[in-house]
Structure formats: structure tokens, C-alpha cells
């Protein structure tokens, strides 16, 4: 295996303030969908997936900062174990035009302060559900070229659960409600994935939980934001690239993990792309959708669903080691990857 190795995970979601809590809650089917203080156009409270530890009055930036700082705690021991050299951070953020305004500079400052100088932001990717995959692709390239050193941190954070974002979603008629049964439940999440360059594990005394076998990016020409039916050309292109990736060895994946909310638009988009890339897909088809447990976590869904992909085999599917994870943004940017779980020596015993 020559792909980048996953050596650390840190998550924070409404169903768990750590990686272990989040994964256990998702495994158990727990949700935190709650009625909020924001009313829709028929006077009903808008439902959202919110971290209850955060006050309802916090802004979108404040919620994102708190989520990201808590998620960062999950990989902090790994950062502290490395050399004094700062670790490069590739950060995925919301796409423009969806939800309240986000203060990027304040968010980045909060993250750097939490890391106490251990991180260096290389680039920020404002691409919503595709942002994590864009960051992942850049980090892998830099690890391969040596520009990123031996370890890189890839993260993403988003919140659509603040009052201003909820009001914006109501105005756009995107929320799930009596007049919109095909709407979405706004959510929030943050996560960080530590990647190591192949061959660096032994010298750094790190253990990998997974390996990335391919990453692909694309753009949908008829995205959700345009209000027209998708032809799934962008997702088809991304899946085709993964199907043809040398590291994937033309093998089927064992499961599919989607960063999408529950709107029917996304199910139709995937169905069309699936039919054009059937040789990549599992039989029978298994798809786990982020919206079922997290609501629409936007950019934050990427690292969470990658963690789910790596741990599903440890739950109920011991043979399901290889997964396709993808995210499609409202604005049309698309990202996807194939990841394979690595069992450690303790699990194999």
C-alpha cells in the first residue's frame, strides 16, 4: 500500500464531543434533532442537530470555533508527540451563500491558539461538503512531494445550527417542515484527520487505522443551487477516476458513505452516477448517509464520515474493509475518496 496513512482522528458533533463518543452514538443510531427558537413561515420551530453544550445565542463563527477546538483535542496528543516542527493544516470550510456569514480569520486564530503553535495553516478550502476532500487531495500531494514533511493534518468544520443560519435556511425554504417534506435538518460538526507519509510510521512510532487508495475532485454543471435536475456528470467523473485509480486495483468497495443531507435531490444524483460506475459499487449496495444521524453538517461531515468508514468494519461488517466516501456541495463542487481499514496487531490477535 502506497497511499497516505490515517494515523489520528479527532471529532466533535452534536452526538459526541470525542471520536469515540461520536462513533458509538452513530453505531447505536442516536440523534440529537431538537426544536429550536427559530420559527418557520407557519410558526413551527425549526428542527436542527445541535451540540447542546453550546448556547443558542452563539454565532456561526463561535459555534464553529468551539466545535473545532474540541475536535482538535482528539489529535493533540499526536501533535505533541512529533518533533517541534509545526504540522501543516489543510482546512475545509463552508461554501459561500449558505447560512450566516462566517468570520474565517477569527476561526483560524482560535484554532492556532488552541494548538499552541503546533499548527501552520497551508490553505483553506471553502467548498462545503466537498471542502474536506479538496483539503485531503492537497495534503496527499504535499506529503508525496515532501513539502508537508512526514505528517499533515486535514480538517473541516461547519455549523448551520446558529439562529442566523436557521433563519437563512427558512428564507430559502431548505429546512424540513410542514410545507417542505423534502427539506433538510441543519446540523454541525468538526473533525481532523492526521495523515502520515508512507514509510514514516516506523520512525515516528505511529500506528495506522486506514490507508487512502485514491481521491478525486470534480464539478457538477447543474448543481442543487441552480434548482435544476442534476445529470450527475460531476459525481460520475469523480467516481470514474476512483474506479480507474491504480491503487484501487479495480476492486469493488464494500460500502458507500455519503456526506449528504436527506433531500431526494442527492439520492437521484447518486443513483445516476452509480449506474455509470456499477463496477466500483458493492453488491448488495450499502449507502450510509450523514443526514440520518447528523443532519446537514455541511463541510464538517467529511472527516466524520471518513471516520465512520474506517470503523464500520469493527462494528458489524468484519469483511467490509474498503469504502467509498463522497461529498457533493450545493454549489456543485464534488469530492470523493476510497479508504481501506487497517486492522492493528491487537485486533488481528
Q: Does 27 have pLDDT greater than 60?
A: yes
Q: Is 24 helix (H, G, I), strand (E, B) or coil?
A: helix
* Helix H or strand E segment including 102: none
User: How many whole angstroms separate alpha carbon 26 and alpha carbon 306?
Assistant: 13
Please give the share of the chain, as a percent, with pLDDT higher than 70: 95
**Model pLDDT for residues 226-248, shown as the tens digit of each residue:** 988 889 999 999 999 999 988 77
Residue where the block lists cell 482538535 = 72
Q: How confident is the model at residue 249 (pLDDT cuts 50, 70, 90)?
A: confident
CB 15 within 8 A of CB 25: yes
**Model pLDDT for residues 129-182, shown as the tens digit of each residue:** 999 999 999 999 999 999 999 999 999 999 999 999 999 999 999 999 999 999
**DSSP β-ladder status, 333-341 and 322-328:** antiparallel
**Model pLDDT for residues 278-327, shown as the tens digit of each residue:** 999 999 998 999 999 999 999 999 999 999 999 976 665 666 689 999 99
CB 216 within 8 A of CB 136: no
Question: 309: which residues sit within 8 A by CB, 6+ positions away?
Answer: 210, 255, 257, 323, 325, 339, 341
CB 95 within 8 A of CB 331: yes
Handedness of CA 37, 42, 43, 45 (dihedral sign): negative
What does the pLDDT average to over 217-228?
94
Give which of 130, 18, 155 is closest to 73, Cα–Cα: 18
Q: Does 345 have pLDDT greater than 70?
A: no
- Residue 348 pLDDT: 46
- The per-residue DSSP string of 30-69 comes to ---EEEEEEE-TTSPEEEEE--TTS-TT--HHHHHHHHHH
Give the orientation angle of helix 131-145 with respect to helix 301-311, to 10 degrees: 70
User: How many whole angstroms separate alpha carbon 91 and alpha carbon 94?
Assistant: 10
Handedness of CA 165, 167, 173, 176 (dihedral sign): positive
User: How many whole angstroms separate alpha carbon 212 and alpha carbon 152?
Assistant: 14
CB 152 within 8 A of CB 143: yes
- Radius of gyration of the chain from its Cα atoms, rounded to whole angstroms: 19
Q: What is the pTM of this model?
A: 0.96
- Residue 349 pLDDT: 39
Amino acid at each position: 500500500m502506497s497511499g497516505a496513512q490515517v494515523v489520528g482522528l479527532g471529532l466533535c458533533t452534536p452526538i459526541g464531543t470525542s471520536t469515540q463518543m461520536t462513533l458509538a452514538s452513530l453505531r447505536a443510531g442516536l440523534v440529537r434533532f431538537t426544536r429550536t427558537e427559530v420559527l418557520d413561515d407557519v410558526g413551527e420551530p425549526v428542527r436542527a442537530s445541535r451540540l447542546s453544550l453550546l448556547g443558542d445565542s452563539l454565532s456561526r463563527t463561535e459555534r464553529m470555533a468551539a466545535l473545532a477546538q474540541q475536535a482538535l483535542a482528539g489529535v493533540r496528543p499526536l501533535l505533541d508527540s512529533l518533533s517541534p516542527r509545526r504540522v501543516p493544516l489543510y482546512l475545509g470550510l463552508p461554501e459561500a451563500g449558505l447560512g450566516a456569514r462566517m468570520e474565517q480569520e477569527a476561526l483560524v486564530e482560535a484554532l492556532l491558539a488552541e494548538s499552541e503553535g503546533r499548527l501552520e495553516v497551508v490553505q483553506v478550502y471553502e467548498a462545503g461538503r466537498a471542502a474536506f476532500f479538496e483539503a485531503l487531495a492537497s495534503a496527499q500531494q504535499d506529503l508525496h512531494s515532501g513539502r508537508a514533511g512526514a505528517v499533515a493534518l486535514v480538517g473541516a468544520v461547519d455549523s448551520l445550527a446558529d439562529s442566523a443560519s436557521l433563519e437563512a435556511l427558512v428564507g430559502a425554504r431548505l429546512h424540513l417542515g410542514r410545507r417542505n417534506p423534502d427539506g433538510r435538518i441543519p446540523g454541525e460538526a468538526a473533525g481532523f484527520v492526521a495523515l502520515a507519509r508512507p514509510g514514516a510510521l516506523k520512525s515516528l512510532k505511529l500506528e495506522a487505522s486506514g490507508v487512502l487508495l485514491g481521491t478525486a475532485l470534480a464539478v457538477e454543471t447543474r448543481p442543487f443551487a441552480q434548482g435544476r435536475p442534476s445529470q450527475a456528470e460531476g459525481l460520475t467523473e469523480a467516481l470514474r477516476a476512483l474506479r480507474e485509480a491504480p491503487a484501487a486495483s479495480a476492486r469493488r468497495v464494500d460500502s458507500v458513505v455519503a456526506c449528504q443531507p436527506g433531500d431526494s435531490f442527492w439520492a437521484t444524483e447518486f443513483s445516476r452516477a452509480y449506474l455509470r460506475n456499477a463496477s466500483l459499487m458493492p453488491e448488495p449496495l450499502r449507502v450510509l448517509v450523514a443526514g440520518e444521524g447528523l443532519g446537514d453538517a455541511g463541510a464538517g461531515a467529511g472527516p466524520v464520515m471518513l471516520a465512520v468508514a474506517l470503523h464500520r468494519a469493527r462494528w458489524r461488517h468484519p469483511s467490509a474493509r474498503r469504502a467509498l466516501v463522497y461529498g457533493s456541495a450545493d454549489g456543485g463542487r464534488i469530492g470523493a475518496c476510497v479508504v481501506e481499514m487497517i486492522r492493528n496487531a491487537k485486533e488481528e490477535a
